[in-house]
Structure 1
């Protein structure tokens, strides 16, 4: 049996692999779990969108959801043509956002095709209540604490909230939907689930391409700079279809955020105008009470 149909299913599932699919693939390949994860990385790596560096990276997060089910979430790096390098998305960011978008509440293991840079180590740290997360880099085994000694994190800023908190829930919305009201409700739900303990400026974005809709949740970081922009998060979801990003196919981009001392409005509109000038850009700024009332 050829694994190609399973790889196509993973694309349709936007980089999500169920525990059963992973087990079936392991049996098909005659591999143990680590070798299967490494094999998947080699298959996912070409999905990366890297026109600037031409350096493709893949990541795979082994996670557990709120129902106690284990699954795997893939990620690749994404670079945007004619935009600043600060708009680049790292594979680890894509994979962690993908896992979180699909109801992850616990990280079990992280597999990467290249050594995580310092930026990514700091980003990973925001997801971990402790720094004992196991990370496999090819044949090298390490923990986050080994890769990021003397880590700076939420506790240093007096924040006890964590991204993978128990109250979080699943609203990934992979299905096609044409109901405008339902789509807006979905966007507001992602807004509520976004993570902004330092600024209070929660944000989420919906990117529409025909009947397909992609969501990006804002993720803040204690070090601020590795924070994940909602538009970049949405682009990373598009990349997980394994077909690159057709910017001309983007119909609309809707950004919703809470009023705070920071805003994604100008940066989002500038990137949309640069990459997809035909797309309709919509913006909504709400206060926290209005956002809570929307659900």
Structure 2
């Protein structure tokens, strides 16, 4: 697999301003190619190159797209979610071979869940290189900011999400008070000192599952003891829901780490009406030769 640093270097040639490309390269290199631009870096680049954050994100779409893994479709999509903090979070579509197509992560899901795992509390803009599909429009409608969320495409900017999703159905239609990215704590407990299981437990407590009340979280430990986490993101339309394993794998890949470095995966789940254990085990069987450490609450 081509290292992400090489993919990004290739993507830089697609940025019109080579000075901007060089400046972004230095920032990403310093942070070991993690797919995020902190708000301080965004402000600096915008001032230096006389751009708005949205204009900057549009120019950086080739870099976000470099994180794409699309072995099935060969169709690479990049997205950037701009947080309320001003930070830009990269995202890209992820496809997994030899398993169900439902295991796929769309680029908009990738960018938004990446922001979520970095404790971002709101998304103001989503910038993407192709028009969002209906699946992603519905996923974005789970955000509290959905009524004001702006979508920016290379050929069309400043479009409200609801212009792509008229007469939308979402959390408010089901009298749901908690939205995706809101802080949540489901008060799940488990006695252990194991840091991997504790991370998975914390992620389950942060899960967004107001419809099924079935909560689960994932923790992935790497060989260097780094731990990545993922929480379940449920959707009012159900099918656009994003399992915690995909959220965690997305977090890992956008942190410029590799699946080959995984040494342990733990899942904590309170399966009230549905369980994601089988789906997670099936995906892992095609990715790594490591059993899922499963804790049922």
Bin of the TM-score, shorter chain as denominator length: 0.7 to 0.9
Q: Which sections of structure 2, spanning at least 5 residues, go unmatched?
A: 1-18, 186-191
232, 240, 243: which one aligns with 1:218: 232
Per-residue Cα deviation, 1:179-229 (whole angstroms, up to 9, x for no partner): 963333222211111111011111110122212322111000000000001
Whether the 8 Å contact between 1:11 and 1:240 is mirrored in structure 2 is: no
Per the alignment, residue 274 of structure 2 pairs with 262
Look up the SS of the partner of 1:156 in the other structure. Answer: helix
**Count of matched residue positions in the alignment of Structure 1 and Structure 2:** 268
State which of 273, 281, 284 in structure 1 corresponds to 2:292. Answer: 281
Q: Per the alignment, in what secondary structure is the counterpart of residue 194 of structure 2?
A: helix
Q: Which TM-score applies when normalising by structure 1?
A: 0.84
Q: What does residue 263 of structure 2 align with?
A: 251
2:171 maps to 154
Q: CA deviation at 1:148?
A: 0.3
Alpha-carbon distance in structure 2 between the residues aligned to 1:33 and 1:153: 28
1:84/1:236 CA distance change after superposition, 3 Å: same
1:77, 1:83 → 2: CA distance? Answer: 16
Single out whichever of 3-12 and 132-141 deviates more from structure 2: 3-12
The change in CA–CA distance for 1:85 and 1:24 in structure 2 (over 3 A counts) is same
The answer on 1:7 being equivalent to 2:23 is: no
**Which residue in the other structure is 1:291 paired with?**
none
Query: How far apart, CA to CA, are the structure 2 residues paired with 1:9 and 1:94?
Result: 23
| C-alpha deviation, 1:31, in angstroms | 3.6
SS, match of residue 239 in structure 1: helix
Aligned twin of 1:40: 60
Q: What's 1:233 paired with?
A: 247
Query: Per the alignment, in what secondary structure is the counterpart of residue 148 of structure 2?
Result: coil
1:138-153 matches, cutoff 5 A? 138-141=154-157, 142-153=159-170
2:72 maps to which of 32, 52, 61: 52
